[in-house]
Amino acid sequence: MTMRLIRKNIQYILIPFALGLFLALWQMVVVVNRYPMFILPTPGQVVASWIDNWQNGIIPRHLGLTLCEIGLGFGIALAFAVSVGYLLAKSPLLEKIVSPYIIATQAMPIVAIAPLVIIWINTGAVQNALIAALITFFPMLVNTIVGVRSVRPEYRDLMRSYSASAWQVFAKLELPAALPIFFGGVRVGVTLSVIGVVVVELLWADRGLGFLLNFARGQLDTPLMFATVATLSLMAIGLYLSVVILERILIRWRRNVQ
């Protein structure tokens, strides 16, 4: 009885245990090797720096800006992916014409396009969002196309036999049918938008968590670098989880399909 209870909840014991073990090892490495703080701070020093910089408003300010950029970039990418993806799914001819350009945007390294975008658009946050959108839209676009194309022809015949309008076919058949595949793209897209924004901030920006990371490195403030990376990771996890939760809510009927 107790054994089964332990086995069932073992993850709740092991996960904190693994984390504790990791932190203890980290502390030990620093203490044994007597690393100075700018090489490798202890977990305690990182936490202290995080609390300090949260309270004086530095981390919240940069976090807020980075989140805004991610939201804007992801929003642009989503709108583009859904509308263009739907059109391309409907018209194989259009797809043949347009897809080389779309693939080209993915083949080019983001660092090569970014300076151009910066010349064209001079607003910092919008720049970063656009560059993030550029690398974010692709998986969502592909999954929109695959999702809409996954509708089997009998279902289209069925809707035709009801003389359903184009809008009804979209709302009652294509949208719900494409949703599970589409969300696969959104999961990848949301993580890519974090990477996109942070990379651009690291390279060019004067604000945001990417900039803060760069700034801390310049100051040799290694605890702040760790605190920034931790903030970024938590933010990325939070964004990913919110997508997963949204998916659970929207695709409730799928939960039992196995």
Q: Is 158 in the site for another protein (CB under 8 A)?
A: yes
CB of 171 to another protein, least distance (A): 10
Q: Is 172 in the site for another protein (CB under 8 A)?
A: yes
CB of 173 to another protein, least distance (A): 7
- As separate numbers, helices (DSSP H) first and strands (DSSP E) second, the chain gives 12, 0
Number of residues that bind another protein (CB under 8 A): 22
Q: Is 159 in the site for another protein (CB under 8 A)?
A: yes
Quick one: 169 or 192, whose CB is closer to another protein?
169
Residues 245, 189, 167: CA angle, nearest 5 degrees: 75
Count, residues in the chain: 258
Question: Residue 227: which residues within 8 A CB-CB, separation 6 or more?
Answer: 46, 47, 49, 50, 53, 59
Q: What is the rounded distance in angstroms from the CA atom of residue 216 to the CA atom of residue 230?
A: 14
Could you tell me how far CA 227 lies from the centroid of its own chain?
20
Q: Footprint of another protein on residues 114-153 (CB under 8 A)? A: 152
* Position among 2, 11, 122, 256 found at the interface with another protein (CB under 8 A): 256
CB of 253 to another protein, least distance (A): 5
Q: Is 2 in the site for another protein (CB under 8 A)?
A: no
Residues 16, 21, 22: CA angle, nearest 5 degrees: 100
Quick one: 177 or 202, whose CB is closer to another protein?
177
Q: What are 152's two structure tokens?
A: 């089997």
Contact residues for another protein (CB under 8 A)?
Answer: 152, 154-155, 157-164, 168, 172-173, 176-177, 179, 251, 253-254, 256-257
